[in-house]
């Protein structure tokens, strides 16, 4: 059985993941409005991934007989100065999410809740990947900062990114 503290924290994380999804959808819409269809696609895939993260946590609560409580989604920023600004914002945001996931892991550890600790390992690994991807995108966008053709090429490359369902969901879909 989940402690009340961990149950509440996982519910907060579900809502944080949905807010993250909303943020990335906003970035996708802003990028598309600025003519960066590939960047818009990159953020659209992020939007889908964040929804997966929320669903994994909701599935976990359901499996532990704990109620999922969705809250209203707070307003998000709707416009950024540049593609670089979007990716810098992404890295800053993902670092906050890493802190939230680490907090969940700490609570599970304090509770000696080994099932929750085990489930959270996937999220810890995912956050390492999320931060690395954001840093890579900052580096790539900085490399072509004043080169319109380079930005065009980067945008074309980002258009090829495809959504892959998160493994904890893919394995439970059957």
pTM score: 0.90
Residue 173 is assigned to a structural domain of this protein: no
Residue 169 is assigned to a structural domain of this protein: no
CATH number at residue 8: 1.20.1260.10
Residue 174 is assigned to a structural domain of this protein: no
pLDDT for res 174: 45
Token readout for 81 is: 């100065």
State the residue range of the domain holding 131: 4-164
pLDDT along the chain (174 residues), means of 10: 96 98 98 96 97 97 97 97 96 98 98 97 97 95 85 85 84 55
Token readout for 134 is: 């954001």
Structurally, how many domains does the chain consist of? 1
d(Cα 84, Cα 145) in Å, to the nearest integer? 8
CA atoms within 13 A on the CB side of 174: 4
Task: Please check whether residue 68 is in contact with residue 8, taking contact to mean a CB–CB distance below 8 angstroms.
Answer: no
Compute CA 17 distance to the chain's CA centroid, rounded to the nearest angstrom: 6
The answer for residues whose C-beta is within 8 angstroms of residue 55's C-beta and 6 or more apart is: 169
Residue 171 is assigned to a structural domain of this protein: no
Residue 98 is assigned to a structural domain of this protein: yes
pLDDT for res 124: 97
Check the CA dihedral 93-107-125-71 and report its sign.
Answer: negative
d(Cα 138, Cα 115) in Å, to the nearest integer? 36
Residue 170 is assigned to a structural domain of this protein: no
Decide: residue 74, CB within 10 A, 0-12 exposed, 13-18 middle, 19+ buried.
Answer: exposed
pLDDT for res 167: 81
């Amino acid at each position: 059985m989940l402690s009340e503290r961990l149950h509440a924290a996982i519910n907060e994380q579900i809502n944080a993941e949905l807010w993250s999804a909303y943020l990335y959808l906003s970035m996708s819409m802003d990028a598309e409005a600025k003519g960066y269809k590939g960047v818009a696609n990159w953020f659209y895939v992020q939007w889908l991934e964040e929804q997966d993260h929320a669903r994994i946590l909701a599935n976990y609560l359901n499996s532990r007989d704990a109620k999922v409580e969705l809250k209203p989604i707070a307003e998000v920023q709707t416009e950024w100065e540049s593609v670089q600004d979007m990716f810098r914002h992404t890295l800053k945001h993902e670092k906050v999410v890493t802190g939230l996931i680490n907090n969940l892991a700490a609570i599970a550890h304090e509770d000696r809740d080994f099932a929750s600790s085990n489930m959270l390992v996937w999220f810890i690994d995912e956050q390492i990947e999320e931060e690395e991807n954001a840093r890579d995108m900052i580096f790539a966008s900085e490399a072509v900062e004043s080169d319109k053709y380079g930005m065009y090429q980067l945008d074309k490359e980002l258009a090829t990114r495809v959504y892959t369902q998160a493994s904890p969901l893919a394995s439970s879909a059957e």
